[in-house]
Amino acid sequence: MNKRIFSFLLFVFSLFPAQQKPVQIAFLSDVHFQDLYGSFSDHDFKGIVNPGTGRSTILRTMDSQLHSTRIFNENYFAFLKALDDIAAKGIKIVAMPGDFSDDGQAYNLRGLHRILDQYHQKYGIDFYITTGNHDPVGPFRQDAGKDDFLGLDGKPLGIYSKENMGKITNKIITRDIAESGYLEVLGELKDFGFYPKKENLYWSTPFDPDFYKNYSYEKALRNADYSKRMYEVSKGFSVPDLSYVVEPVKGVWMIAIDGNTYIPKNLNGNSNDPANYRGASIGYNNVLTNKKHLIQWVKKITDEAKANGKTVVAFTHYPMVDFNDGATNDIRNLLGEKKWQLERVPEENVAKAFMEAGLKIHFAGHMHINDTGIRKEGNQMLINVQVPSLAAYQPAYKILTIESPDTMEVHTETINDVPRFDELFPLYEKEYQALSKDKSKTLWNKDILNTASYHDFMLFHLKELVRLRMIPDDWPKDFFEKAKLLNGKDILLMSQNSNAELKPKGTDPESFRKWNFEDLLFDLYKFQSADELAKKDILKERLEQYQVLEKLFESNTSQDPFIKQLKSVFKILSLLSNGDPADHFRIDLKNKTLKRL
């Protein structure tokens, strides 16, 4: 080839920068890690011996799991499965938006550290975590314990951090069950985002006055110290904030926002007393009132990112956008102000504040649900991606692929088959036998021990949770007692304005008899938890029948209170089952669109 032509081609190609490989980030939220095979530093108790494996295990009872919105034990195996899956995909960045532990106890933090370090050493995965309301439970360490560990006799065992705690006489005392504060969490897990690493291209906190162009690792390391990361949540009450921004790969800034806002109960009380602080589960509504510096900091970061050509992705424990697909008011009107976790729904001002601060895409957890929420105002758009929990239905994690500053793809990876998920079943058999002897207790359904996969196990967990907790706690008793007697055909007849039996076009009324109102409620909670992923767990025929009923109730003009309540149920079902894309979708930030893939 002519040297001049070759030189010209080299010049031409130099004008076009090499296309960067897409950056992938996996988001694992609400792992609620409890170290089944951990140990206490001040007690020789290592759990009870599993007759199936011969291994000592520290576990909670099945009874406690089925009354909780999360499981405590099997998620240990699901966590390992998810990490193996991420490693097999070659993903090197994992973000964890809070509740990475089960109440931040020392033995759980040690166990989590050990596992994260193993995957870092073996696969080169870098973990970036932020705090949730379970880690820490409060700003400072506090004595605590649980009444529901499984004892040698199959009955509950209490494990507490000091004497004279709890209701269980059969107990163990260890300081490792106390709920750690920020200082302890930072000390144990500083290697996973809370402190800078030399290989990070940038790392900073809300309390660092410097700008990106003045960055140095040495200064960042000094600013990472616990004493440098305090703010005044209320006058005279200083608490930590572990927020940070990091550039793990060139061109991508990850903002890890510590959304925990621990507000004092008594302004005249002791600022160092951990019991003098409310919990943080309300989330961003309290950030707007008592942690405003976060919004100002996010604005600073997004401005700097824009000036320096960086792509910003934020993650926090708490949602920034309403996660009920527009059904919040209907839920409130039907069930009441304090039901269905409505107190955790963020105010509209939350999304507005962070949009104005320049944030465009945010990953959250906390609610244990799969959802996508979008807010637009003028030229601004904020997308809130709810990452499901591995400890609840539907267990899954999210993968973000950054193709360009304006184009991203989100994919939901469900965790269906988990090795060893049934490893603890022999221990639950022992618990069930002991519980059967206590006639005052409501028995959990033993059929859960016949489930063949982790997916089926978690679906069964949701069903029992609805039966044992959601229905008694959330639903008006008189309404449920009446509605539970209905089958689908009964509801079909009630959905129509005339008392005469009408046959909607293309439907067989008799086929509606196959399900009843309790089946409907179970499916409603499936959609609330899994969004469009729930459709895989509901028969196609029934989904079509629900659509028929949704339309019929929409046009129903009856003023009968019970009919109006049923009408609300189907409106909520319709909204929850027809939300924005929440499985696999592409984000176009330039044109402000989402496309289902």
pLDDT tens across 90-125, in order? 999 999 999 999 999 999 999 999 999 999 999 999
| 429 in any annotated domain | no
Q: Which residue has the higher pLDDT, 10 or 507?
A: 507
Specify the pTM.
0.94
pLDDT, tens only, 192-229: 999 999 999 999 999 999 889 999 999 999 999 999 99
The DSSP code sequence of 260-276 is ----BS-TTS-TT-GGG
pLDDT of residue 476: 96
pLDDT exceeds 50 at position 127: yes
Q: What letter would DSSP give residue 40?
A: B
Q: Which of 7-11, 57-61, 153-157, 399-403 has the lowest mean pLDDT?
A: 7-11
pLDDT of residue 496: 87
pLDDT of residue 500: 47
Q: 154 is written with which tokens? A: 């199959």
Domain count, the chain: 2
pLDDT of residue 167: 84
Co-location of 486 and 409 in the same domain: no
Co-location of 181 and 307 in the same domain: yes
pLDDT exceeds 70 at position 464: yes
pLDDT of residue 556: 93
Contacts 24+ apart (CB under 8 A), 543-550: 543/577, 545/488, 545/492, 545/507, 545/511, 545/512, 545/515, 546/520, 546/570, 546/573, 546/577, 548/492, 548/504, 548/507, 549/491, 549/492, 549/495, 550/574
Nearest of 131, 135, 77 to residue 102 by alpha carbon: 135
Co-location of 67 and 143 in the same domain: yes
Instruction: Return all residues near 144 (Cβ < 8 A) that are at least 6 apart.
Output: 103, 105, 137, 160, 161, 165, 177, 178, 179
CATH number of the domain where residue 127 is located = 3.60.21.10
Co-location of 407 and 488 in the same domain: no
Strands 361-364 vs 244-249: parallel, antiparallel or unpaired: unpaired
| 420 in any annotated domain | no
pLDDT exceeds 60 at position 9: no
Query: How far is it, in rounded angstroms, from Cα 545 to Cα 558?
Result: 21
Describe the strand order of the beta sheet including 23-27 as a list of residue ranges: 126-130, 93-97, 23-27, 396-402, 407-414, 584-588, 593-596
Nearest of 555, 467, 473 to residue 517 by alpha carbon: 467
pLDDT exceeds 50 at position 16: no
pLDDT of residue 168: 86
pLDDT, tens only, 409-433: 999 999 999 999 999 999 999 999 9
| 319 in any annotated domain | yes
pLDDT of residue 235: 95
| 364 in any annotated domain | yes
Give the residue-averaged pLDDT of 358-377. Answer: 97
Co-location of 378 and 486 in the same domain: no
pLDDT of residue 507: 76
Co-location of 261 and 379 in the same domain: yes
| 8 in any annotated domain | no
| 7 in any annotated domain | no
Mean pLDDT (the chain, rounded): 94
pLDDT exceeds 90 at position 6: no
pLDDT of residue 11: 43
93 has which bridge partners? Answer: 25, 126
Q: What is the share, in percent, of the chain residues with pLDDT greater than 70?
A: 95
Range of the domain at 557: 475-576
Instruction: Return all residues near 137 (Cβ < 8 A) that are at least 6 apart.
Output: 103, 104, 144, 179, 279
Query: How far is it, in rounded angstroms, from Cα 354 to Cα 362?
Result: 10
- CB neighbour class for 479 (10 Å; exposed up to 12, middle 13-18, buried from 19): middle
Co-location of 410 and 483 in the same domain: no
| CA distances for 491 relative to 132, 136, 223, 374, angstroms | 42, 46, 62, 34
Give the residue-averaged pLDDT of 492-498. Answer: 86
pLDDT class of 442 with cuts at 50, 70, 90: confident
| 112 in any annotated domain | yes
Nearest of 389, 368, 367 to residue 75 by alpha carbon: 389
Radius of gyration of the chain (CA): 26
Instruction: Give start and end residues of each alpha helix (H) in 139-232.
Output: 182-189, 217-223
Q: Helix or strand or coil: residue 433?
A: helix
Are the C-beta atoms of residues 373 and 361 closer than 8 Å to each other?
no
3-state secondary structure 508-569: CHHHHHHCEHHHHHHHHHHHHHHHHHHHHHCCHHHHHHHHHHHHHHHCCCCCCHHHHHHHHH
Co-location of 489 and 379 in the same domain: no
Domain stop point among 414, 429, 464 = 414
Co-location of 517 and 393 in the same domain: no
pLDDT exceeds 80 at position 502: no
| 286 in any annotated domain | yes
Query: How far is it, in rounded angstroms, from Cα 565 to Cα 150?
Result: 41
Q: What is the share, in percent, of the chain residues with pLDDT greater than 90?
A: 91
